[in-house]
Structures are given as structure tokens and as C-alpha cells.
Amino acid sequence: MNATPPATSAPLAVVTGASGALGAAIHTRLTRAGWQVVATYRTRPPARDQRQDGTSWVRFDAAEDASTTALRQAVDACPGRLHAVFACVGAPSTKQAVADTGVSEFDAVHQANVVSFVRTWHAVAARARRDGASVLATGSDAGQAARAHNGPYTAAKAALASLVITLAKEELQHGVRVNLLAPSLIDSPLARHVMALKGVTDPDAYYTQLPWGRPLALDEVAATCIELATAAHWSYATGQIYPLAAAL
């Protein structure tokens, strides 16, 4: 992993959804490596000790115009070059058939997974273009797998993947890279919540049925996100969807 920013420029990154499991893992790795971070939460503000690591915390809700402004202002207040943006906001479906899923759930899941990314870009675009930043969005293997009983999430992650490719084409001229990592199941509170919705009562037994007999670990996904966004040997890549799963 290459999480260490070049010594000649200020290490600044944006992590949206940093109150969530993956965003927190990315945030922790970045701050330990000396990065300055603008981090967002929606309903779970950081604990007192998390406020003391030099991170600028911003309340960010995909439904609110004010959140775009707040995130832009927080980024503008930070000196140095914006190297990377990690878009980790997301929300699951209730795992029902499309016929049984309300339109409001499709709206809410789309808002969390797709509109949040649009707002993030609106907030950081000017700075990202000026600084030649790298953007890494968090998708899911669900976006391609299109399994039954996951319509809102599948549709939202597929839309996010298309948006990432579109944005990469638009921003290439500005030296901005935009990619998406699409992990499979990560050992996380979200995964346990989703398994419960699916009626899984024994997560450990469920995990043993996965290709490697285990889910992804949060820290290995966080490390992959950081490497894809910041390592020199990934600097050619843009407009790419990277699965992180066992192809079985």
C-alpha cells in the first residue's frame, strides 16, 4: 500500500461516509499515515477523541443542498493539494422483491448511493480539477450480480458505476481520475444487518459458504481503496470498475 503522500505537498483527502465502517477504516489509515482529512457523517457524529486528530468533520446528507455547500467550504478551508476523494456513502435495500418494494425506498437508496456522489463531486470539483485529484467511489458486486430481492441497491450501484465512467470521461481533460471499487460482502455491521434481512441466523456458517470461506475484511478493502486512489502504479487508471471478489 502507498498511503504516504508526496512530501512536497500537503496531504489532503476527502472521505464521505466516514462515520460508517469502510469510511472509518479509510479515515484511520489515512490519518495514521499523516494525511489531513475532511470527513463526513450524517446521523452519527464523531466521538470526542475522533475530533482531535486534525480531521475536519462535516455533516453531509445527500438530501440537502446545504450539505454540498458545507462540504465545499470545509475543503476550501484546508490548505494544500487535494490528492484523493473517497466516496463511501451508501445504504442497503430492505431485500424484498421489486413488486413488494415501495417507490420511496427506490428513491432513498438511489439518493444515498448515487445522489450523494453527485453532491460530493459538486462540492469538490473545482478543487479536484485544480489539484488533479483522484476520486474513488465505493460500489458493490451487487451492481453487476443483480440478485433477486435487492432491486433498489442493485439499480443504485449500477447507476453509480455508469456515473463514475461518465465523470471519468468528462474530467480526464482536467487531470482528474475517477474509478470505482466494487467489493463483495465485507465483514461489517452493514453486512450483518443485510444478512439478518435475508433471514441468515448464523453469519459464521454463512461465511463458510463463501468462496474463501470468509467475507472481505474492512481493512483489506480500505487498503485497496487507498492504493487504487493514491499509488503511483495506478496513476494510468481512470473510468474503471474494479471488482474485489472471488470470481466463482
Grid cell 475536519 in the structure block, residue: 56
CA atoms of 202 and 38, how far apart (whole Å)? 37
Give me the sheet containing 82-87, strands edge to edge.
56-59, 36-41, 12-16, 82-87, 134-138, 177-183, 241-244
CB of 23 to ligand NAP, least distance (A): 5
The continuous run of DSSP H or E covering 183 comes out as strand 177-183
Q: Which stretch binds ligand NAP (CB under 6 A): 89-97, 120-128, 167-175, 226-234?
A: 89-97
Are 139 and 160 in contact by the 8 Å Cβ rule? The answer is yes
Contacting ligand NAP (CB under 6 A), which of 93, 138, 154, 179?
A: 138
Contacting ligand NAP (CB under 6 A), which of 5, 15, 41, 117?
A: 41
121 part of the interface to ligand NAP, by CB under 6 A: no
The residue among 11 and 17 lying less far from ligand NAP, judged by its C-beta, is: 17
CA distances from 71 to 29, 60, 200 (A): 21, 7, 38
The continuous run of DSSP H or E covering 179 comes out as strand 177-183
Q: Which of residues 150-179 bind ligand NAP (CB under 6 A)?
A: none
Q: Which of residues 58-77 bind ligand NAP (CB under 6 A)?
A: 60-62
Are 245 and 184 in contact by the 8 Å Cβ rule? The answer is yes
CA atoms of 57 and 224, how far apart (whole Å)? 23
Q: Which stretch binds ligand NAP (CB under 6 A): 2-10, 26-34, 168-176, 184-192?
A: 184-192
CA atoms of 26 and 178, how far apart (whole Å)? 17
The residue among 103 and 232 lying less far from ligand NAP, judged by its C-beta, is: 103
120 part of the interface to ligand NAP, by CB under 6 A: no
Binding mask 203-242 for ligand NAP (x = CB under 6 A): ----------------------------------------
Contacting ligand NAP (CB under 6 A), which of 36, 188, 230, 238?
A: 188
CB of 40 to ligand NAP, least distance (A): 7
Q: Which stretch binds ligand NAP (CB under 6 A): 68-76, 108-116, 169-177, 225-233?
A: 108-116
CB of 162 to ligand NAP, least distance (A): 15
Size of the site for ligand NAP (CB under 6 A): 29
20 part of the interface to ligand NAP, by CB under 6 A: yes
CA atoms of 150 and 199, how far apart (whole Å)? 14
CA distances from 107 to 3, 65, 114, 132, 222 (A): 35, 17, 10, 32, 28
- Contacting positions for ligand NAP (CB under 6 A): 17, 19-23, 41-44, 60-62, 88-91, 111-112, 116, 138, 140, 183, 185-186, 188-191
